[in-house]
Structure 1
Amino acid sequence: MKVAFAGTPDFAAIALEAILAAGFEVPLVLTQPDRPAGRGMQLQPSPVKQVALAAGIPVHQPEKLRTPEQQAPLAACAADVLVVAAYGLILPQAVLDLPRHGCLNIHASLLPRWRGAAPIHRALQAGDAETGITIMQMDAGLDTGPMLLKRAESIQPDDTTASLHDRLAWLGSEMIVEALEALPGGGLVATPQPAEGVTYAAKIGKAEAVVDWTRPAAEIERAIRAFNPFPGAFAPFQGTPVKLWRARAIDARGTPGEVLLAEGAGVIVACGEGALCITELQKPGGRRLSAADFLRGAPIAAGSRFD
């Protein structure tokens, strides 16, 4: 079976590597155009493109997939199925109809919860006890297609988007190989998504990363984990944006934003409900530091305030 692949970041690259390791023929890879990155802002290939080039697979990088010309390489490769994972482009119906087995999507949530662009972030931010992977038959809607495989993954109390992403990427890579092996023989049962329980995982905006100290400490703590590594939660202190990487909610009271205590064990800041003990911080241009190391270079006094 010929398996075309569409994806861009590390999450998708892990799936592509698994498909190749399983012995499937991949005649074409679709990925986002090279983007500037790094200090020099040089054009960098996506992780998926790097895997494809290393395997000698042709790569197509259209800005959109709307026109017959943009779709031509996929049509020409005569793939039996297209696997899609965090590609970043909307697939029009003409593309969904090209492979004879259609398009399978690796989605990082237990659909219909967290349809959309940022399911891992939103599951953490909401305090969900579990999330998972859904292998879905794609249709023209936003993550609305029937489900083929679905497996849960527990969310640990100290999980960040980075740690949860990595576990889900490996789970997704195993499940897509299982789905592809079952596909030709009709071994997959398509189950429509239930109408109840639909939520949407909107794309993460940098403005969300600013800490609102009037919110409950438990909510802020979840946001810090959800925004690790991107975009990184931060709180201005005396005009300097300080990134907050690790914290825990504790039972303490004060005016929201007020520093109740600053010592090696953590910087305790009052919130709208409870307080936050921050244990890992970072100044602009600096490294992530424990509270003890951070305070040695940038003292914070009890009674001072985060903006």
Structure 2
Amino acid sequence: MPYVIASSRLGYEQITNEIAQLTGDEFYLIDNKEDLNLNVLREINPTYVFLPHWSYIVPKDVYEAYECIIFHMTDLPFGRGGSPLQNLISRGIYETKVSALQCSEGIDTGPIYVKRNLSLYGSAEEIYLRASKLITEMILYIIGNSPIPIEQEGEPVCFKRRRPEEGNIDDLKSLEEVYDYIRMLDAEGYPHAFFETKHLRMEFRRASLKQDCIHADVIITKKEDK
């Protein structure tokens, strides 16, 4: 049977090929926004459309015509909305779940197929790599078991997508907070945690928390004159 994996994150070409080899099924990767449309999907006629690390809104005509499955890094209905990893860590939450849910009109409101535990220790890049492996296992489970999604239960808590300026560590008071801010933004393509003086900007990566200090890589640039 044919399946589609739609992801805007690098690395999913290899993951798609690995899943195809494991299952013996046909898998097609969509990695840009314009290709997730009815014309493309009708040519494939997929049983499921899996959307790990997909950064765009799924068109209504797509999720109404095909069973689309989103993977969200919270224990839904807690943590609906944007920037789940950063919102969790900034709240001091270091263990979460990845929820596989059916795409619906509301943001992260669809019924749940399966949940799996995920640790939020390490850099954002390390966490995303762990999540990708976990999502691969969840995709294989869904293909093999065809679970019926169950409506979400509990009081919803919604997250707002974080803005780049929220990575400023200027107001943080503890080493633990600073360490969390650096690591939760330490992934390819993310605006890193930063600190600014009148003339300079410092961006931090690869943080290591010691007993009484933090070791980290820092890039110092001159701010543009306004």
User: When the two structures are superposed, what TM-score results if normalisation uses the length of structure 2?
Assistant: 0.82
| Equivalent AA in structure 2 for residue 115 of structure 1 | R
Structure 2, unaligned runs of 5 or more: 222-226
Structure 1, unaligned runs of 5 or more: 34-60, 251-275, 286-307
1:136 Cα offset (Å): 1.2
| Equivalent AA in structure 1 for residue 4 of structure 2 | A
- Picking from 172, 178, 184, the partner of 2:141 is 178
Paired position in structure 1 for 2:224: none
| Equivalent AA in structure 2 for residue 10 of structure 1 | L
> Counterpart of 2:178 in 1: which secondary structure?
helix
Paired position in structure 1 for 2:56: 89
Structure with the greater alpha carbon radius of gyration = 1
Paired position in structure 2 for 1:139: 104
Tell me if structure 2 keeps the 8 A contact 1:124–1:225. no
- CA offsets 1:41-65 (integer angstroms, 9 cap, x no match): xxxxxxxxxxxxxxxxxxxx44xx6
| Equivalent AA in structure 1 for residue 201 of structure 2 | P
- Give me the whole-angstrom Cα distance separating, in 2, the residues matched to 1:132 and 1:12: 21
1:247 Cα offset (Å): 5.6
> Counterpart of 1:177 in 2: which secondary structure?
helix
Tell me if structure 1 keeps the 8 A contact 2:97–2:117. yes
1:72 Cα offset (Å): 1.1
Q: Where does 1:253-292 land on structure 2 (aligned, <5 Å)?
A: 277-284=213-220
| Equivalent AA in structure 1 for residue 153 of structure 2 | P
Paired position in structure 1 for 2:21: 21
Task: Select the structure with the greater relative contact order (CA < 8 A; seq sep ≥ 6).
Answer: 2
- CA offsets 1:135-188 (integer angstroms, 9 cap, x no match): 1122121111111110112333xx2211111111101111111111112xxxx1
> Counterpart of 1:148 in 2: which secondary structure?
strand
- CA offsets 1:72-129 (integer angstroms, 9 cap, x no match): 1212322222111222221233111223xx1122222222222233222222222113
Pairing 1:231–2:191 present:
yes
The share of aligned pairs that are identical, in percent, is 22
Paired position in structure 1 for 2:95: 130
Tell me if structure 2 keeps the 8 A contact 1:126–1:222. no
- Give me the whole-angstrom Cα distance separating, in 1, the residues matched to 2:162 and 2:102: 25
Q: CA RMSD in A?
A: 2.5
1:4 Cα offset (Å): 1.9
> Counterpart of 1:281 in 2: which secondary structure?
strand
| Equivalent AA in structure 2 for residue 277 of structure 1 | C
Paired position in structure 2 for 1:115: 80
Tell me if structure 1 keeps the 8 A contact 2:74–2:99. yes
- Give me the whole-angstrom Cα distance separating, in 2, the residues matched to 1:9 and 1:112: 24
- Give me the whole-angstrom Cα distance separating, in 2, the residues matched to 1:14 and 1:126: 33
- Give me the whole-angstrom Cα distance separating, in 2, the residues matched to 1:123 and 1:93: 29
- Picking from 177, 184, 190, the partner of 1:219 is 177
Paired position in structure 2 for 1:203: 161
Tell me if structure 1 keeps the 8 A contact 2:8–2:31. yes
Paired position in structure 2 for 1:169: 132
Aligned residue-pair number: 216
1:207 Cα offset (Å): 1.1
| Equivalent AA in structure 2 for residue 136 of structure 1 | L
Quick one: structure 1 residues 116 and 21, their matched pair in 2 at CA, closer, same or farther if it must change by over 3 Å? farther
1:16 Cα offset (Å): 2.2
Quick one: structure 1 residues 115 and 242, their matched pair in 2 at CA, closer, same or farther if it must change by over 3 Å? same
| Equivalent AA in structure 2 for residue 190 of structure 1 | P
User: When the two structures are superposed, what TM-score results if normalisation uses the length of structure 1?
Assistant: 0.63
1:10 Cα offset (Å): 3.0
